[in-house]
Structure formats: C-alpha cells, structure tokens
C-alpha cells in the first residue's frame, strides 16, 4: 500500500510538473504577445507622429499659399470693382448724353461768357489789324 501511494504520488507529481510547465509556457506566450503588441503599438505611434508632423508642415505650407491666394483674390476683386464702377460711370454719361442732345441744351451764363471770350481771342488772332472807323 505504501508503494501504491508512492506510485500515485509520483504520477500525480509528474502531472503536476507537466501542468506547471504548460502554465508557465502559456504565461510566457501571453507575456511575449503583450510585449510584441506594445512594441508594435509604440512603433505605430512613432509612425503616426511622423505622419502628423508631415501633415502639419503640409497644412502650414498650404496656409501660406492660401494667404497669398487671399491677397491675389482681394486684388482681383478690387480690380473688378473698379472696372464695374468705370463701366457704370460711362453708361450714366451715355444715358445723360442721349437724354440731353447738345443742340437743345441751354448754356449756363458762365459757359456763354467763356464762349464769348474764346471767340474774341480767335478774332484777334485772325484779324490782328482790324480797321478802325
């Protein structure tokens, strides 16, 4: 009986060692997997940081390009506004000229005096020595 117990204990002890070995193996695999995952994740974070830095640099460069674009757009808009105002001014002048034909319009007193003065100056140039009576 004593030997039977020893044999049973020996078999149980062998199984215990096997179970312990399997447990340690599983634990080692789990730890290795977690370590590998953490290493891969830190590698991915490094790559993500580099990509994020590249994106930031690219967006900053685009931001500078957009500032230049805003300046060009503003200059273009101002030029279009000036052209539009000039066109409106010409259109108003043409409308005014069509409404008031030059022959039917009355002259102001200042315009009449200027015209008289110009005529007298032209007469003096044409007839420098006019006959006196």
What is the model's pLDDT at position 18?
A: 80
Q: Is the pTM of this model over 0.85?
A: no
Q: Is the dihedral of CA 112, 118, 121, 127 positive or negative?
A: negative
Residue listed under structure tokens 């953490």: 38
What is the model's pLDDT at position 90?
A: 92
**Residue 59 in tokens:** 């967006």
Tens of pLDDT along the chain (133 residues) come to 566 656 655 555 567 778 788 888 888 877 777 777 776 666 667 677 788 787 788 777 766 666 677 888 888 999 999 999 999 999 988 888 777 666 667 888 999 999 999 999 888 888 877 666 6
B/e letters for 60-91, b = 16+ CB within 10 Å, e = fewer, are eeeeeeeeeeeeeeeeeeeeeeeeeeeeeeee
What is the model's pLDDT at position 83?
A: 93
């Amino acid at each position: 009986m004593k030997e039977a117990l020893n044999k049973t204990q020996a078999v149980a002890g062998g199984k215990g060692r096997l179970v312990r070995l399997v447990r340690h193996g599983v634990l080692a695999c789990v730890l290795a997997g977690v370590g590998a995952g953490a290493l891969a994740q830190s590698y991915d974070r490094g790559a993500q940081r580099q990509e994020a830095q590249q994106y930031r640099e690219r967006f900053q460069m685009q931001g500078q390009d957009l500032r230049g674009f805003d300046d060009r757009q503003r200059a273009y808009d101002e030029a279009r506004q000036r052209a539009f105002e000039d066109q409106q001014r010409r259109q108003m002048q043409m409308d005014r000229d069509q409404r008031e034909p030059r022959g039917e319009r009355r002259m102001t007193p200042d315009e009449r005096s200027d015209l008289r003065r110009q005529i007298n100056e032209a007469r003096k140039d044409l007839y420098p020595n006019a006959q006196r009576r």
